[in-house]
């Protein structure tokens, strides 16, 4: 879920930093979301449920503004990014078993292609791939599939 919100008169994107205790992608920056469960009627419901479970934000269906194309991670996850505008986030209830911290990056900063680059990356399967890495922001580095989703979002916005 790409959550857009306004803070300090700027449109910002919400990111999470995952804990070391999650099953996969430990200690990495991510967008809220997760795996579809059997009871989820669709991927929007999955994203809403997972966002609520991870950071306690209640997303309403009328706050969803669109989808990006499905992307596939190097770990073979197929990810359907859903874009949401949430005017007020309210009080977040962070699930500290999954999320170490929540932070925000201004959308203008993300849209500036000077803030990211493609780098060679050797994954755990020993294959070398070109992977998107953003410059550090607020002590965090957005990279990999999360960064690729943000680059795709920038392209949709005609950056």
Residue-range domain boundaries for the chain: 2-156
Are 82 and 44 spatial neighbours (Cβ–Cβ below 8 Å)? yes
pLDDT in tens, 32-77: 988 899 999 999 999 999 999 999 998 887 777 789 999 988 778 8
pLDDT in tens, 65-78: 789 999 988 778 89
Architecture of the domain made up of 2-156: Alpha-Beta Complex (3.90)
What are 122's two structure tokens? 């050797």
Are 60 and 143 spatial neighbours (Cβ–Cβ below 8 Å)? no
pTM of the prediction? 0.91
């Amino acid at each position: 879920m790409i959550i857009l919100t306004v803070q300090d008169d700027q449109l910002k994107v919400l990111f999470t930093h995952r804990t070391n205790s999650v099953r996969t992608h430990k200690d990495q920056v991510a967008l809220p979301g997760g795996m579809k469960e059997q009871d989820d009627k669709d991927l929007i419901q999955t994203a809403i449920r997972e966002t609520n479970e991870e950071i306690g934000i209640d997303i309403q269906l009328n706050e969803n503004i669109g989808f990006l194309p499905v992307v596939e991670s190097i770990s073979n996850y197929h990810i359907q990014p859903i874009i949401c505008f949430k005017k007020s986030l309210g009080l977040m209830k962070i699930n500290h078993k999954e999320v170490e911290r929540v932070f925000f990056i201004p959308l203008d900063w993300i849209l500036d292609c000077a803030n990211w680059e493609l780098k060679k990356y050797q994954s755990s399967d020993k294959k070398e791939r070109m992977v998107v890495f953003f410059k550090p922001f607020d002590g965090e580095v957005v990279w990999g599939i999360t960064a690729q989703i943000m680059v795709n979002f920038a392209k949709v916005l005609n950056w």
